[in-house]
Structure 1
Amino acid sequence: MSMHPIALLICSIFLATLPLPCRGLAAEPASYPRVTVFRNGQDGYKIFRIPAVVKAVNGDLLAFCEAREGGDASKIDLVMKRSTDQGRTWSPLQVVQSADSFVKYFRGDVPPITVGNPAPVVDRLDERHPGRIHLPFTLENDRVFICHSDDHGATWSPPREITSTTKQKEWGWYATGPVHSIQLERGPHRGRLVVPTDHRLGADGADHGPNGVHALLSDDHGETWRIGAIDATYEDGLNANETTVVELNDGRLCFNTRDQNGAAAGTRGVGYSSDGGETFDNSGDRKYRFFVPAPAVLDPPVVQCAMLRAASTLNGDKQNVILFSGPDESGPTGKGRSDLRLRYSLDETRSWQDGPLLHIGPAAYSDLVQLSGTVEPNKASQDNPATDPERNREFGVLFEAGAANEKSYTRIDFLHFRLSDVLDAKQP
């Protein structure tokens, strides 16, 4: 039976007004719009990449990244911007480490100097220097340095080289983070600083060769640094690379890593440490000794990603929540580095679920930070979701982004969200 033309037109107009299904948030929280923190071609630099973010003890947000004249091997400064209003506005650019200041470390012809791979961590348990911020970074993806700030990032100490205690002779390429590092909050290693780090076998700074992950540890609030756990299983088919770490409620550390080769069933690997990062646990898998392929729901392209503890029953929260940020190859744009999505785990990283899709278009490296609320004991128990302090806890993601009509990422954005946005995200 055919439909009358007028009726068909009315029906078509009605259907056109229906909302299209989407994975994730219908819109960003209205009161916390997205802000562009770094944009290519501004502040005297051609390109900004490799973000990391932490919250200082005074509440300020510090957004770090590499300010480049070109690609990975170009001249690169390590820079920062500050927000004093939870990420709504950001300060002028501040150079934390200038490439030119490292000329003294070279002899003869000086190549374009690269300073980067920020892996900041806030030491909240140092009684002598409360709130000291440690910033591990690399020179030429080869030598390892650290600096610190005792005034919430306003000024920084001169850089101190720690290569001799943090790098093995057979390692060439070397990268700290790039992502926030962590301080252990519980157990026999409480106060330990843990920096997720990766290396490659071969010539100094060479961007090729088998990949491996290791942890940098400090048990004296950053005075000395050493190598802890090492993944040296270079022939098992999982090339562990840029890594993010989170402390679990059972005392273990979970290391989630970029698999440079993209092993099945995805492009991520996961490993654990039961001794505070001293060693990696044996996985029990015959093929993979330490790192095994991560759950398939974690399906970004080969890229850096970030994890962050969002809630813990040990702190009085109603549930355990760990967040994960990274591009989604199942997103609207399709394969490649695009469509930033949050994922979350309610069972301490054993399984993951899709959260909201925050950005459509080019997207790559990212980092996560908690804004409001606390991960300390929450004595108030409220059943009303609208007033539940846990669900209303605020977070931010700092990530490389580009417009949907652009071929690549051209800026670094900061986006607010609440825990309820993640837990209530509707999937198709």
Structure 2
Amino acid sequence: MRIVNDTMLLLGVFFFWSSCQQLETPEPVQTQVLWSQADSSHNNYRIPALVVSTKQTLLAFAEGRESGDSGDIDILLRRSTDQGRSWDEQQVVWDDGPNTCGNPCPVVDQTSGRIYLFMTWNLGSDSEDAIIRKQSQDTRIPYFCYSDDDGLSWSEPVSLAESGKVPDWGWYATGPGVGIQLQAEPYKNRLVIPCNNSYTVEQEGEAVKGAYGYGAHVLLSDDGGQSWRMSELISPKVNESQVVELADGSLMMNMRSYQGKACRAVSFSRDGGKSWSEPEPAPQLVESVCQGSIIRLEGHAERPLLFSNPAVPVGRTHMTVRCSFDEAKSWSNSKLIYAGPSAYSCLAALPGGRIGLFFEAGEHHPYEKMVFISFAPEELFSFNLLANDKLSESNLSGFLP
């Protein structure tokens, strides 16, 4: 039976009780299922994205799907004004009938408060494989919309087919995850949106599917989102990407890798995202082939980097958060969040200093539910968050509100 009771999944995401009893925390771990296959608006829900507005509202985006990665897909949103304790009812940001509106990738302009949401569109009758192989009726196109009222309403989506995509590119995806706004001069306030795409390869060794390879890039804006331009392509054999600004002002792109190393890949930019270094493996960030999330924990004294993904070389299980206190040179404090099936994730630094993680998980496969969890960083740095494959009610005692 594919529908699993929400409580059963929450049982698998909890603090080790004996440790919690010995440690005083301002607020215990919070968990909540935001979407589930038990919900009735769509058949399935995937692709988490989580940001915090300038008014400290949490915005959790997802795809509402009728089938798989193509077909009828809508962009959905739930909001929380109390740091994730409770959530508004679902709203539909973009629904284009039977067509695909996917890959939510939001960014907040801290100067204006405007929330931009980047997305991608294609005909619902065109599959990803057909788009990659140039056998589709149409192609995949990046779009964006925005909200000036804290996510309560959204503008009409605007196409970036001309300024945001090279004609040769077939498949295109924004994120999945979030964009960032740069803080260091000379590129302060630049908006950076991580993206990825397929392209026609010139060398056989670059190919991932037939005659086509996978690469990543970013979209850039220096005028508060009024205009957007593309960076150079990062290739070969990388795609789904997230970007973070390092302490020296350089950027690091963290990417899903097809290089056969069972780990993530990274690339660096020293010109605000315009050009990028050759991708290289990040062996400490173990992964099969999946999506991951990386952010800086602003507000914490040491401003560490956090990274989340299903940290296994094969399959999609063991959702894990890692910390870096040396600008991604090394990763420590690896904490298991959920040992069961789990896939895509999105981290966020929450108001008051807590850490938020929005991720896909389930008992039998990773796409049964989309779970939000929040916890204090001291708890992450001090001891493990544990997950129990045997989801028994006794394990939950004392952890859920």
Q: Is the partner of 1:158 in helix, strand or coil?
A: coil
Unaligned runs of 5+ in 2: 1-13, 123-138, 202-207, 387-401
SS where residue 380 of structure 2 aligns?
A: helix
CA distance in 1, matches of 2:301, 2:59: 29
Counterpart CA distance in 1 for 2:362 and 2:240 is 22
* Alignment of 1:38 onto 2:35: yes
What residue number does 2:362 align with? 402
Residue 300 (structure 1) aligns with = 287
Q: For the structure 1 residues 207 and 87, does the alpha-carbon distance in structure 2 shift closer, same or farther, using more than 3 Å as the test?
A: farther
What do the CA deviations read for 1:76-105 (whole angstroms, capped 9, x no partner)?
0001011111111111110000022xxxxx
Aligned mates of 1:83, 1:178 — CA distance in 2: 21
1:356 aligns with 2:343: no
Secondary structure of the residue aligned to 1:67 is: strand
SS of the equivalent of 2:61 reads strand
Matching residue of 1:240: 238
TM-score (norm 2): 0.81
Written as runs of structure 1 = structure 2, the 5 A alignment for 1:111-122 is: 112-122=98-108
Q: 1:277: which partner in 2?
A: 273
Once residues 344 and 366 of structure 2 are traced to their aligned partners in structure 1, the CA distance between those partners, rounded to angstroms, is 12
Query: Judging changes above 3 Å, is the alpha-carbon distance between structure 1 residues 43 and 227 closer, same or farther for their aligned structure 2 residues?
Result: same
1:131 correspondence with 2:127:
no
Q: 1:211 aligns with which of 209, 214, 217?
A: 214
**Residues 152-163 of structure 1 mapped to structure 2, 5 A cutoff:** 152-163=150-161
Instruction: Say whether residues 1:227 and 2:224 are aligned partners.
Output: no
Deviation at 1:349, TM superposition (A): 0.8
- Whether the 8 Å CA contact 1:257–1:270 is kept in 2: the answer is yes
Instruction: Map Cα deviations across residues 283-320 of structure 1 (whole Å, 9 max, x no partner).
Output: xxxxxxx11001x22112211100010148xxxx5424
After TM superposition, where is structure 1 displaced by more than 3 Å over at least 4 residues in a row?
Answer: 27-30
Matched residues in 2 for 1:426 and 1:155: separation?
A: 39
* Equivalent AA in structure 1 for residue 213 of structure 2: P
CA drift at 1:359? 1.1
One-letter identity of the residue aligned with 2:265: G
Between Structure 1 and Structure 2, how many residues are aligned? 343
1:74 aligns with 2:71: yes
Provide the rounded CA distance (Å) in 1 between the counterparts of 2:41 and 2:302: 45
Letter of the structure 2 residue corresponding to residue 63 of structure 1: A
1:384-399 equivalences under 5 Å are: 393-399=353-359
Query: Could you tell me which amino acid in structure 2 is paired with residue 213 of structure 1?
Result: A
Residue number in structure 2 paired with 1:198: 196
Q: Counterparts of 2:195 and 2:38 in 1: how far apart (Å)? A: 30
Q: Distance in 2 between matches of 1:271 and 1:262?
A: 14
- Alpha-carbon contact 1:173-1:207 (below 8 Å) kept: no
Instruction: Tell me the residue number matched to 1:268.
Output: 264
Q: Does 1:26 align with 2:5?
A: no
Q: Which residue of structure 2 lines up, in the alignment, with residue 177 of structure 1?
A: 175
Question: SS at the partner of 1:421?
Answer: helix
Change in Cα spacing, 1:93 to 1:171, as seen in structure 2 (3 Å) is: same
| Equivalent pair of 1:262/1:268 in contact (CA under 8 Å) | no
What is the deviation of 1:422? Answer: 2.1
| Partner Cα distance (2:90, 2:301) in 1 | 40
Preserved CA contact (<8 Å) 2:115 2:151? yes
Q: Which one of 320, 323, 326 corresponds to residue 306 of structure 2? A: 323
Q: Answer whether contact 1:254 1:272 (CA < 8 A) is retained.
A: yes
2: distance between equivalents of 1:254 and 1:202?
Answer: 25
**Is the radius of gyration larger for structure 1 or structure 2?**
1
Match of 2:365, SS state, is coil
* C-alpha contact (below 8 Å) 2:293/2:347 kept by paired residues: yes
Between the two structures, name the one with larger relative contact order (CA 8 Å, sep ≥ 6).
Answer: 2
Aligned equivalent of 2:318: 339
**More strand, by proportion:** 2
Write out per-residue CA displacement over residues 233-265 of structure 1, whole angstroms, 9 at most, x where no aligned residue: 43xxxx111001111110001111000x2432x
CA distance in 2, matches of 1:57, 1:214: 27
| Contact persistence 2:144–2:157 (CA under 8 A) | yes
Is the 2:342–2:365 Cα contact (8 Å) retained in structure 1?
no
How far does residue 277 in structure 1 lie from its aligned partner after superposition? 0.2
- 2:245 corresponds to 1:258: no
Residues 16 and 385 of structure 2 are in contact (CA less than 8 Å); yes or no, is this contact kept in structure 1?
A: no
Residue 167 of structure 2 aligns with an amino acid whose one-letter code is K
Match of 1:120, SS state, is strand
Task: Sort the Cα spacing of 1:412 and 1:427 in 2 relative to 1 into closer, same or farther, 3 A.
Answer: closer
8 Å Cα contact 1:35-1:414 kept in structure 2: yes
Aligned Cα root-mean-square deviation (Å): 2.3
Matched residues in 1 for 2:162 and 2:336: separation?
Answer: 43
Aligned equivalents of 1:395, 1:72: Cα separation in 2: 29
Structure 2 residue identity aligned to 1:85: D
Per-residue deviation at 1:43? 4.0
Shift of 1:345: 0.6
Q: Which amino acid aligns with 2:144?
A: I
Aligned to 1:301, the other structure's residue is in SS state: coil
Cα distance change of structure 1 residues 210 and 82 upon mapping to structure 2, 3 Å threshold: same
